[in-house]
Amino acid sequence: MITGLLLVIVVVAFLCLSYRYAVARPKGFPPGPPRIPFFGSYLFLLMINFKYLHKAALTLSRWYKSDIIGLHVGPFPVAVVHNYEGVREILNNKAFDGRPGLYVAAMRDPGDEIRGIFFQDGPLWKEQRRFILRYLRDFGFGRRFQQLESVIQEQLTDMLDLIRNGPKYPHEEAMVKPGGYRVQLPLLFNPFSANSHFHIVYNECLPREEMGRLIKLCQMGMQFQRNADDYGRMLSILPWIRHLFPELSGYSQMHEANVFVHKFFADFVDRHLETYQEGVERNFMDVYITEMRQSPGYGFNRDQFIMGLVDFSFPAFTAIGVQLSLLVQYLMLYPEVLKRIQSEVHEVVGCGRLPTLEDRKSMPFTEATIREGLRIETLVPSDVPHKALVDTELLGYKIPKNTIVVPSLYAFHSDTRVWKDPENFRPERFLDSEGKLNLKLDVSLPFGAGKRLCAGETFARNMLFLMTATICQHFDFVLAPGDTLPDLSQNLNGLIISPPDFWVQLQERH
């Protein structure tokens, strides 16, 4: 009798404690789903929308009738914001400038330490970002620079030659079929974008015959991007799972990618360290090495230098090509938009030269189309996660220190309270009644904002314009036998949204 009573008491106590654990949350914390041991609320996100977790979070937001929800991803408390006011607050309030120490961020480094820029915060992040940006601008990063534009034109010329005449070297067959005009996206765009970026950093570009390793870098970069997710994947919740399920957890794929990417940039750094001469400034690399010699320490050393370069270069060899490929999907689905771009290019540029950045101000529809592409297919739907550095408030709720804070750029870019018809691909939304670009109509935030604003925004926008205008100037997108129009529901969700690798048939315009 006593034993049975004790058992009942234990069971009741266990159920009470389990219930309290499931529903307990800090005082004033936003409403949200319960949590379970180890996984927190992560499994609920997976059950709602396994493929697109940012859409699952938005579904929860609507369920709780709140623009901000609170949940747990494993042991981490998380607040997710789904409206314009909250997103702007997170991006512009220095109280949210922190970064969570997720395992997916640490595993990029051979020593499992968080280095670089993306996932750093505090004095080291501020020092490194300020230094790298300051001196990269001297070499053309983030501003109009005639020499850099000439380099980009050379890269676009090489890309056009590859498309028309087919591969000259075995490594180019991954991008273009023999005979030309059939190209794989997003791979085609990335090496040429990367080469343009590397000219800024290293003052050199790889010729086509030596681009094999650069193409491999682009492939490995995409492999990392596609095998994580915007909530840290299971690896950040249960890092030990990599030992039991290395393939299923994505660890093997991301580890392979990280090893290659790290070695690629380590080789660059070591080559410059070996050939460095005091007082000789060949490129940005020498500027950084000089600072390493003058101010040795945790902030300026080989390991941090490598990861800093990885972070500043990553979008150039992955994200730009992906964003262009997403735009190509829409141009195939909306041929009338493509025709308007081509008409504008013909009127402003003609066919005797390539488009330039000077043409941009005279091509409002092309620019509006690119901006609409950035809005409707938000490349980083949940931004890179932020972290509260102090106890603070957000949209009337209390946010404890060290809470992960997620500004849902996807939700903001698809909010009917901000955009009249967000589900429609409509470049005209950024044009005034006279057909001119009106930047006041573009409140989208594809590159973030505030101190965490993507440092490569200007470079990315310039590359997107030049590549879009050039490819539309010379080619139509057509369906070869067996091809179908793009299915946007098949696009992949990782750290960024990306289309699965697909082949596109191009046709010369006459």
Q: State the binding site for heme.
A: 454
Angle at 276 between CA 274 and CA 281, to 5 degrees: 155
Read off the DSSP letter of residue 358.
G
d(CA 490, CA 508): 28
Which token pair is 75?
């042991």
Q: What gap in Å lies between CA 386 and CA 94, rounded to an integer? A: 10
Peptide bond into 186 cis (omega under 30): yes
With beta carbons less than 8 A apart as the criterion, state whether 447 and 457 touch. Answer: yes
The C-alpha atoms of residue 69 and residue 397 are separated, in whole angstroms, by: 10
Region class of 250: left (phi > 0), else alpha (psi between -120 and 50), else beta: left
End-to-end Cα separation, the chain, in angstroms: 93
* Six token digits for residue 462: 């310039």
Of 318, 255, 281, nearest to 203 by C-alpha is 281
Q: Is the dihedral of CA 261, 460, 408, 128 positive or negative?
A: positive
In the annotated binding site, the residues are 454
- Residue 399 CA to residue 391 CA, distance in Å, equals 6
d(CA 343, CA 368): 14
> Quick check: 72 and 224 in contact, CB under 8 A?
no
Q: How far is CA 232 from CA 117, 383, 401, 458, in A?
A: 17, 12, 19, 28
Taking the C-alpha atoms of residue 454 and residue 284, their distance in angstroms, rounded to an integer, is 19
